[in-house]
Structure 1
Amino acid sequence: MEKLIQFYEQKCDPHTKEDFVFLRTDFEKIEIKVNDVNLRCLELNNLVRFLNPKVNLSKHSKPHISVEDFGLDDLDEAFEMLNEMETSEINVRDSIEEMIPLYFLPWHIEEKIKAITCGNHRKKIDYRIKSILPQSFIDELELTFRPEKGEEIVEYDDRPGRGISFFKFFRGSQFEECVDFQEIERKINEVKYKLKVKFVESMDFYFIGNINVEVGLLERDKDETNKDPLYYHFNLWKLRNMDLSTIYNEFSLFPFNEEVM
């Protein structure tokens, strides 16, 4: 409680409303109610971050090969290109690690990138994501952005959709944290292969790590995401003056593996 009070006083901006402060993230200014503290913390270990495959820029840029693209005399070339594409799949881990900042973005920013990679959004794109995307990707798709405007203020009740999502696993109804890697690994794979959770089904990798410096404010959802295995969703609102690498450098990448269940 005392640490949270210090955080509000030292890391947040004053608000005109009583019992509120503003927390500045990389993308907006969010209202935070200071006396709503029961589900909040500043540091947490053994957090899981699921990757959103729809922000994978390299997949979007990958060429599509169809039979119609080649004549009979080109079969050898076609097979060679297909083999190169299959080989590139082996390097998915390298691709993820190269673009790791894209996998630690708030949900609403991921949705804006998804509109490009999974849709046809090319014009009048939110200016806030321009600094996130590689210039080569912007040039390749000829993306154009809206002019910058004043800082957005997010009302308190709208804060959940503006955080970076993490999950944490617990043991049954005892609400005891899972700290053993093998136990966490098993429960994570149950989410994919047993529960068949939709947003996880298409993922090949996930991150596990710790947030042990005050990079922002963590808040747990009141209700569990699932009862068996038991896990909860956490939002992190990262402070603007903290580099994103402070977070992702403390996380390691692991593949899903059905055999560990």
Structure 2
Amino acid sequence: MQPLSTGRYRVRLAQSERDLAAAQALRGRVFRTGAATDRDDFDAICRHVLVEDGQDRLMCCFRLLPLPGGAAIGTSYSAQFYDLAALSAFAAPMIEVGRFCLAPGCHDPDVLRLAWGALASEVAAQDAGMLFGCSSFHGLDWRAYADCFAALAGRHLAPERWRPQAKAPQLVHYAQALAGQIPDLRRAQLTMPPLLRSYLAMGGWVSDHAVVDEDLGTLHVFTGLEIAAIPPARARVLRMGAVPVSGAGSAGAGPIDVCGARL
């Protein structure tokens, strides 16, 4: 992945142990209240993406695990929590996106725009057919997200041919519990993680159940986005985020709506 920039921010791959430590520290602040760092064994096999501002402050990070196809999906982080046997038939390369987080207080849409630019660059480089991962909700009280889960159940469940099955010991079968419930869509949007909003706006889908992750203090749903299913207009917006660094020619963009996801 080549470095990308909007002028105010730049995105690059971690190149050193220091870079990785910075990402793990931000993850610790976001995912583990009071913890100095967040790390696991998957860090060693993933590529780590950093979005920094002009003062080298880390504003966003996430990690990528490229897979040659669905036959390798059992080696992914998500496979610890979901039965992904249906996706083992997916023939094209895949990329798992994990530990996506924004620095506390970061509300500039350009940060998310650059993150999607980095993802677009990786999709092109890997000729990937699907992005997938776990979309996390802070806290363990799923009822606090009832409108959001009702919207997911009514509009965004995975197609049967790819649908993840239950595997984790602690689950919330929200699609069953909220069947027929009409959500407050404004409240659903306000409580939905920004990255998940972007996935859904481009045609993404989710599992019909949420996993209770007591280790991170979150709820999460498996999320998939088939690249071929992205509407052409959305695909153009996604590609627009992939603007290579070009020195003085990299003018900063103003606040934008990134694939329907406002921060």
Q: TM-score scaled by structure 2?
A: 0.24
Task: Please identify the structure whose Cα radius of gyration is greater.
Answer: 1
Higher RCO, 1 vs 2 (CA within 8 Å, ≥6 residues apart): 1
Q: TM-score scaled by structure 1?
A: 0.24
